Structure 1
Amino acid sequence: MINAMSRTQFLRLAALSATVLVLPSAVFADGDEITRDMILNDPETPTGGNPNGELTVVDFFDYNCPYCKAAAKSLEKVVKADGNIRLVYKDWPILHPTSIIGARLALAAKYQRKYLLVHHALMEIPGYGIEQAKMIEAARGTGIDAARLESDMTTHADDIARLVKRNLDIAESIGFQGTPGFLVGAFKVNQALNEQGFMRVVADARARQKG
């Protein structure tokens, strides 16, 4: 996790197990209603995995977060191997000025049905404080229509801004302290997990759903 916390604070937080989060039917952030359905089923939010999966995992991330990138690789492997998980991508650009550039590139790619291509390309860029030019290069390297991408970033700028704002409000309402953050069924996880960690919390979430 990267935010204003110290390394000691991070290690203390990383030692905590997943906590149960009972998602409210509705909460309010800055006067706007945030519903359970908005968190899990916002039609503007990109998704992956099995669209009909019995378990939903929501990933809150920042393209400048090395911990997000490490955790994302583990999560994607678990989702692919499991075959019955729906994955929701919540772009949460909070760490660096270029984080919003990455979010805008990926979310604009959605209008070409290329969100996942650009998302994965941006997540493959190592490090923190990534230059804007490097992000643009990575997006173009996916073979996306670059001219349309630029056009969609302008045409859909307000829609993208509203979606990012909703993600920010949702993360705040849930109580995440920094990136990465995950909702795995009823569980809130505010740390980077490896494959074994995700498999364990997925199993716990399924057991809770069945119970």
Structure 2
Amino acid sequence: MLKKRLMAFALSLITATAPALALDLSAMSDEERTQFGAEVRAYLMENPQVIMEAVNALEERQAEVQAQADVDLVSRNAEAIFNDGFSYVGGNPDGDITLVEFMDYRCGFCKRAFGEVEKLLAADDNIRFVVKEFPILGEQSLLASRFAIATKLEEGPDAYKAMHDALMSYNGDITIPALRRLADTFGLNTDQIEARMEADEVTQELMATRALAQRLQISGTPTFVLDDEMLRGFLPMDQLQMIVDEKRG
């Protein structure tokens, strides 16, 4: 991969400095290609810093392209991201900016991000926070999400928030008995919650969120959407706050 990047850089350098030159490697003789390769190698050996400059420039361009593609994806899917009608909304529901998180209860980085997001919401009371249940790490993840969504449907958003927080802090195996014990600590109706886990509306919510994630090209957790930007991966509270401040202008 690096070799291809460097050759592409060499070609762009030569064509940029000599635009009138019609450079067609396929039209070169074997001797001409050998000479050309030797000249490129000699240039890079004499100017080794060009290697990292070329790679860094390529990575910056790729990041810019990805960022713009993400903005376009968010714009095309804004209603489903920010106002799907079923995802939990916390923080300040009337906040001036919305932070959306696609999360999995078995994801270690999601657990790290949980504390950072909680600190952000405590420090900034004008952020609307939306949770997207996106279980992608196996059956235990799916079990946890079904129980959390069933709790929301059966007991309401406050009970969901309590279960969500408990699951984000929980590090054991996720089983029905473990989920029931967690729910019991909040005085919830565990029988009704368990009975509702396989309900169509639970399945439909999970399927809708998965379809949205596919459209947004989200393959890992945590993934955040902040205003018009996607933030792929864990970010500490101070970086999240900085981005929030930038979005506010």
Same fold (TM over 0.5): yes
For the pair 1:146 / 2:193, whether they are aligned, the reply is: no
Question: Which has the larger share of helix?
Answer: 2
Aligned residue among 105, 110, 115 for 2:160: 115
- Deviations along 1:23-56, one digit per CA (max 9) or x if unpaired, are 4554xxxxxxxx4212110111111011101100
CA distance in 1, matches of 2:124, 2:220: 27
Measure, in 1, the Cα distance between the counterparts of 2:74 and 2:219. 19
The count of corresponding residues between Structure 1 and Structure 2 is 181
TM-score (norm 1): 0.78
The percent of aligned pairs where both chains have the same amino acid is 32
Deviation at 1:153, TM superposition (A): 2.4
Secondary structure class of the residue paired with 2:93: coil
Answer whether contact 1:19 1:189 (CA < 8 A) is retained: no
Structure 1 position 141, deviation (Å):
2.3
Higher RCO by CA contacts (8 Å cutoff, separation 6 or greater): 1
Where does residue 92 of structure 2 map in the other structure? 50
**Alignment-mate amino acid for residue 146 of structure 1:** T
Deviations 1:153-206 (A, max 9, x none): 25xx11111111111111111122311100011111111111112112212222
Task: Note if 1:185 corresponds to 2:230.
Answer: no
| Cα distance between partner residues in 2 of 1:123 and 1:24 | 26
Amino acid at match of 2:164: H
State whether residues 59 and 182 of structure 1, in contact with CA within 8 Å, keep that contact through their aligned partners in structure 2: yes
How far apart, in 1, do the equivalents of 2:75 and 2:197 lie?
32
Determine the structure 2 residue equivalent to 1:66. 108
Selected match of 1:161 from 174, 198, 203? 203
**What letter is aligned with 1:152?**
R
Aligned residue for 1:93, secondary structure, equals coil
Whether 2:105 is the aligned partner of 1:105: answer: no
Deviation at 1:99, TM superposition (A): 0.7
User: Residues of 1 paired with 2:92 and 2:74: CA distance?
Assistant: 24
TM-score by length of 2: 0.67
Residue 125 (structure 1) aligned to one of 170, 177, 182: 170
Q: Assess if the C-alpha contact under 8 Å between 1:105 and 1:136 holds in 2.
A: no
Name segments (4+ residues, structure 1) moved above 6 Å: none
Matched with 2:213 is: 171
Q: 8 Å contact 2:120–2:241 — kept in the other structure?
A: yes
> Which has the larger Rg?
2
Work out the CA distance in 2 between the residues paired with 1:173 and 1:82. Answer: 30
- In structure 1, the partner of 2:16 is none
What is the one-letter code of the residue matched to 2:189? D
The alpha-carbon deviation at position 143 of structure 1 amounts to 2.0
- 5+ residue gaps in structure 1? 1-15, 27-34
Contact between 1:75 and 1:195, CA under 8 Å: does it hold in 2? yes
Q: 1:36 aligns with which of 68, 78, 92?
A: 78
